[in-house]
């Protein structure tokens, strides 16, 4: 009798093949179950009697439904290779428990794998599949939204960050009675002078910055400048153990006891250094280490590298800081989109580049805004309530006043092949020129800014 | 040279060619299937003067650098078993070509003894692996029927390789017949089993190396002792 599949499980299975790329496919196919990854994982080391923490076991929870649907042998003889599809919501919950609650995507197991299985890549894919149907820890949903909309999991806007720096700058000026003190941001060739920290310091290589981004020696270089007694922990660099707070673990309170238990490995590693300060370059690690230091009662503080360096800074030379001109300064852009989130998102992107931003939720309001103050460029969503973006575009191109106004179409239906809106067909039919750019949603920020800059430059050349 | 029976002539020549052709066809389809999936792109900027191609080359070579793999460093005996086992498998594959087409290449008693020694060592390593898979709870939890069957099959094949290495049909064709029949079965079965991992190996390691090379992690900077 065929087993009935829940709606969520069905959606996960349907989306599986869309999410798999070549690297994920190979990582799912290549495992030979040799078990060399087992003792590389901090969860295993802290829970030696529970096989479900082994990286290969966790990977197999994803692998088995991949095999049931895509692998040749798995489809023909599922029992032979341990393939099994997903059917129930409970199975999705169990998978959630594995991919969110038993792995921090630290990639340590991948370095030990002779086959080159990249566990973090497909664990992330599995997280994506589950999130697609709403099966995810609530905390992750919140931070993921901040990360997506604002660009960091703390939900700190760039403006807020710069404002905080400005505020710190003023505090420093007051504290040292020196109005010339500056905190230069993105200024090349600034001189930095350090004072030395006398306490024993060790460095924790973050999984993100070190094992996944190769930043090994730079922080050590800085630490040797600002510390008298720098001690390596062991293992270190790419082989360091995870702080246990990565992969969103700090935002999943339901897994906190499990996380802290697995942190025993890290605690022993820290204790062995005899250091009084553990420094790291990752904010997640700070939280993870802080938690485990408190839990295991280590006589140790955790500090961000940047804090330690900032504390050590002295500024004997006053360097005038020239005000930097931002790339779109002096320009006005009108963002036309019916979705408030998108308007806010695009407006922030353009505002960060220094330009003035207007926005409009529909074509009528957009036309009024354009007539009241002609922008230098507009971004146009094609799907608008009442009057569509296509019609607005047509009106603008017919009007001698706005014929040359650069338009960048930002839409989920901007592509030529879009089945829902044949914008190019519309342009051909009306004999209209192509707009200055097409950007598909979700927006690639760099591509958007590059397109806008080019459109503005072309427009300037055409005028001048 | 001693004349061989039509059965042995068939299993060591035509049957092998047919099985090889089948395997090659399946592999070609498999590679085509792999390439149908889009290659993922690294979304982040490269780290410093990172070189993805260098990372990929390093990753491919890592298997021959036990010091570069934490797992191999931690379990040197296991790595040694791995080396012996895979060398023996490669030697036995080579032998399946040499016996029918260039028997004089391995006719010298020293060559025969060397091969038998290698196969015996690999057989011992394989038995240890099987024992490990049966006894280690972590491995038991992830092992599938295919894992056990593939390993058991290889053990039988290595044992037959020891018997077939002297290539003395005049003393009885049984070992040679069994060896070549099993070789043919392997060629047909392997593409559908975990033994086909070697077809994935270069691709998987290349992509991991490319990613980690792009990110400045490969070539790996090894963990340095705390006292350093």
Q: What is the CATH number of the domain that holds A112?
A: 1.10.1060
Regarding beta strands A407-411 and A437-440, do their DSSP bridges make them parallel or antiparallel, or are they unpaired? parallel
pTM value? 0.74
Looking at the structure, tell me whether residues A353 and A421 fall in a common domain. Answer: yes
Q: Do A114 and B82 touch (CB under 8 A)?
A: yes
Q: Do B226 and A272 touch (CB under 8 A)?
A: yes
Looking at the structure, tell me whether residues A88 and A112 fall in a common domain. Answer: yes
Are A153 and A250 in contact, with CB atoms under 8 Å apart? Answer: no
Q: Do A231 and B226 touch (CB under 8 A)?
A: yes
- How far apart are the C-alpha atoms of A84 and A75, rounded to whole Å? 9
Give chain A's domain count: 4
Q: Which of A128, A92, A68 is nearest to A8 (CA)?
A: A92
CB contact burial A55-81 (16+ within 10 A = b; e otherwise): bbbbbbbbbbbbbbbbbbbbeeebebb
Give domain status of residue A406, yes or no: yes
The long-range contacts involving A403-407, CB below 8 angstroms and separated by at least 24 positions, are A404/A459, A404/A462, A404/A463, A405/A370, A405/A374, A405/A375, A405/A377, A405/A378, A406/A376, A406/A377, A406/A378, A406/A435, A406/A436, A406/A455, A406/A456, A406/A458, A406/A459, A407/A377, A407/A378, A407/A379, A407/A380, A407/A435, A407/A436, A407/A437
Q: Do B217 and A238 touch (CB under 8 A)?
A: yes
Looking at the structure, tell me whether residues A308 and A365 fall in a common domain. Answer: no
Which of A21, A35, A213 is opposite residue B216, by nearest beta carbon? A213
Looking at the structure, tell me whether residues A397 and A457 fall in a common domain. Answer: yes
Looking at the structure, tell me whether residues A90 and A111 fall in a common domain. Answer: yes
The long-range contacts involving A185-188, CB below 8 angstroms and separated by at least 24 positions, are A186/A324, A187/A321, A187/A324
Are A17 and A68 in contact, with CB atoms under 8 Å apart? Answer: no
Give domain status of residue A327, yes or no: no
Tell me which chain A residues have a C-beta less than 8 angstroms from the C-beta of B43: none
- How far apart are the C-alpha atoms of B45 and B57, rounded to whole Å? 20
- What 3-state class would DSSP assign to A198? strand
Which of B50, B63, B132 is opposite residue A114, by nearest beta carbon? B63
> Chain A residue closest to B33 (CA)?
A22
Q: Which residues of chain B have pLDDT under 70?
A: 1, 226-228
Give domain status of residue A74, yes or no: yes
Looking at the structure, tell me whether residues A168 and A58 fall in a common domain. Answer: no
- How far apart are the C-alpha atoms of A235 and A217, rounded to whole Å? 15
> Chain B residue closest to A233 (CA)?
B226
Longest dimension (CA), chain A: 82
> Chain B residue closest to A63 (CA)?
B142
A285: CATH = 3.40.50
Which of A21, A32, A210 is opposite residue B194, by nearest beta carbon? A32
- How far apart are the C-alpha atoms of A213 and A46, rounded to whole Å? 26
Output phi, psi for B205, to 5 deg.
Answer: -70, -35
- Determine which of A24, A25, A63, A98 to mutate to test the interface with B (most B C-beta atoms within 10 Å): A25
> Mean of the per-residue pLDDT values for chain B?
93
pLDDT digits (tens, 9 = 90+) for B190-210: 999 999 998 999 999 999 999
Tokens standing for B102? 């260039």
Q: Which of A193, A178, A168 is nearest to A316 (CA)?
A: A193
Looking at the structure, tell me whether residues A116 and A232 fall in a common domain. Answer: no
Tell me which chain B residues have a C-beta less than 8 angstroms from the C-beta of A205: none
Looking at the structure, tell me whether residues A131 and A184 fall in a common domain. Answer: no
Rg (CA), chain A: 27
Are A95 and A126 in contact, with CB atoms under 8 Å apart? Answer: yes
Output phi, psi for A356, to 5 deg.
Answer: -85, 135
Which of B69, B141, B209 is opposite residue A57, by nearest beta carbon? B141
Give domain status of residue A211, yes or no: yes
- Structural domain boundaries, residue A373: 332-463
Q: How far is B211 from chain A (nearest CA, A)?
A: 9
Other Cβ atoms within 10 Å of A347 Cβ, number: 18
Give domain status of residue A202, yes or no: yes
Q: How far is B71 from chain A (nearest CA, A)?
A: 5
Domain end position, chosen among A314, A348, A379:
A314
Looking at the structure, tell me whether residues A174 and A202 fall in a common domain. Answer: no
String of DSSP letters for A111-143? HH-TT---HHHHHHHHHHHHHHTT-S-HHHHHH
Looking at the structure, tell me whether residues A301 and A344 fall in a common domain. Answer: no
Give domain status of residue A60, yes or no: yes
- What 3-state class would DSSP assign to A33? coil
Looking at the structure, tell me whether residues A458 and A352 fall in a common domain. Answer: yes
Q: Which residues of chain A have pLDDT under 70?
A: 1, 191-196, 314-325, 413-422, 460-464
Q: Is A56 on the interface with B (CB under 8 A)?
A: yes
Are B68 and B205 in contact, with CB atoms under 8 Å apart? Answer: no
Looking at the structure, tell me whether residues A432 and A342 fall in a common domain. Answer: yes
**DSSP secondary structure code for residue A39 in this structure:** G
> Chain A residue closest to B29 (CA)?
A72
Tokens standing for A301? 């503080």
Q: Do B38 and A22 touch (CB under 8 A)?
A: yes
Give domain status of residue A243, yes or no: yes
Q: Is A21 on the interface with B (CB under 8 A)?
A: yes
The owner of tokens 């140790």 is: A300
Give residues with Cβ within 8 angstroms of A105, minimum separation 6. Answer: A119, A120, A123, A124, A207, A246, A247
Give domain status of residue A281, yes or no: yes
Q: How far is B12 from chain A (nearest CA, A)?
A: 28
Which of A56, A111, A233 is opposite residue B142, by nearest beta carbon? A56
């Amino acid at each position: 009798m065929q087993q009935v599949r829940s709606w969520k499980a069905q959606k996960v299975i349907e989306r599986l093949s869309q999410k798999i790329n070549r690297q994920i496919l190979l990582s799912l196919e290549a495992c030979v179950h040799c078990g060399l990854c087992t003792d590389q994982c901090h969860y295993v080391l802290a829970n030696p009697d529970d096989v479900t923490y082994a990286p290969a076991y966790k990977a197999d929870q994803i692998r088995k439904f991949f095999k049931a649907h895509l692998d040749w042998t798995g489809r023909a003889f599922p029992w032979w290779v341990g393939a099994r599809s997903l059917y129930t919501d409970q199975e999705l919950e169990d998978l959630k428990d594995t991919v969110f609650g038993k792995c921090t995507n630290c990639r340590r197991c991948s370095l030990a794998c002779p086959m080159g299985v990249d566990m973090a890549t497909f664990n992330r894919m599995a997280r994506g599949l589950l999130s697609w149907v709403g099966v995810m820890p609530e905390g992750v949903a919140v931070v993921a939204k901040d990360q997506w909309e604002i660009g960091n999991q703390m939900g700190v806007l760039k403006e807020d960050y710069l404002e905080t720096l400005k505020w710190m700058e003023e505090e420093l000026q007051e504290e040292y009675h020196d109005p010339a003190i500056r905190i230069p941001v993105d200024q090349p060739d600034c001189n930095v002078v350090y004072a030395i920290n006398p306490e024993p310091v060790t460095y924790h290589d973050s999984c993100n910055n070190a094992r996944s981004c190769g930043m090994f020696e730079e922080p050590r270089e800085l630490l040797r400048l600002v510390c008298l007694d720098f001690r390596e922990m062991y293992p270190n660099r790419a082989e360091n153990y995870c702080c246990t707070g990565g992969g969103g673990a700090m935002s999943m309170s339901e897994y906190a006891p499990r996380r802290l238990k697995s942190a025993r490995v890290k605690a022993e590693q820290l204790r062995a250094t005899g250091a009084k300060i553990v420094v790291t370059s990752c904010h997640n690690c700070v939280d993870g280490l802080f938690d485990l230091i408190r839990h295991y009662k280590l006589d140790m503080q955790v500090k961000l590298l940047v804090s330690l360096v900032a504390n050590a800074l002295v500024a004997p030379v006053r360097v005038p800081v020239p005000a930097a001109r931002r790339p779109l300064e002096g320009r006005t852009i009108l963002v036309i989109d019916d979705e408030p989130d998108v308007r806010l998102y695009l407006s922030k992107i353009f505002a960060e580049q220094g330009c003035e931003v207007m926005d409009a939720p529909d074509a009528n309001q957009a036309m009024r805004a354009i007539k009241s103050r002609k922008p230098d460029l507009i971004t146009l969503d094609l799907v608008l309530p009442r009057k569509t973006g296509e019609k607005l575009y047509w009106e603008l191109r017919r009007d001698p006043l706005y014929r040359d106004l650069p338009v960048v179409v930002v839409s989920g239906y901007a592509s030529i092949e879009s089945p829902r809106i044949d914008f190019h067909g519309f342009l051909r039919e009306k004999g209209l020129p192509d707009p200055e750019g097409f950007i598909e949603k979700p927006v690639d920020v760099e591509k958007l800014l590059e397109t806008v800059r080019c459109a503005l430059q072309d427009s300037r050349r055409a005028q001048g | 040279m001693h004349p061989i029976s039509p059965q042995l002539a068939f299993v060591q020549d035509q049957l092998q060619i047919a099985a090889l052709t089948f395997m090659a066809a399946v592999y070609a389809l498999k590679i085509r299937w792999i390439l149908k999936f889009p290659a993922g792109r690294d979304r982040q900027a490269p780290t410093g003067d990172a070189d993805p191609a260098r990372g990929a080359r390093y990753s491919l070579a890592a298997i021959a650098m036990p010091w570069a793999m934490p797992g191999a460093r931690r379990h040197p005996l296991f790595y040694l078993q791995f080396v012996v086992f895979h060398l023996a498998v490669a030697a036995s594959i080579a032998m399946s070509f040499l016996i029918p087409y260039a028997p004089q290449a391995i006719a010298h008693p020293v060559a025969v003894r060397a091969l038998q020694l290698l196969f015996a060592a690999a057989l011992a390593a394989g038995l240890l692996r099987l024992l490990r898979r049966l006894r280690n709870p972590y491995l038991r939890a992830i092992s599938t029927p295919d894992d056990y069957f593939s390993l058991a099959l290889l053990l039988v094949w290595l044992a037959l390789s020891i018997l077939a290495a002297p290539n003395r049909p005049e003393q009885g064709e049984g070992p040679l017949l069994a060896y070549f029949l099993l070789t043919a079965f392997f060629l047909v079965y392997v593409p559908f089993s975990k033994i086909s991992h070697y077809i994935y190996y270069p691709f998987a390691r290349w992509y991991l190396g490319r990613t980690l090379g792009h990110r400045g992690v490969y070539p790996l900077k090894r963990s340095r002792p705390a006292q350093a």
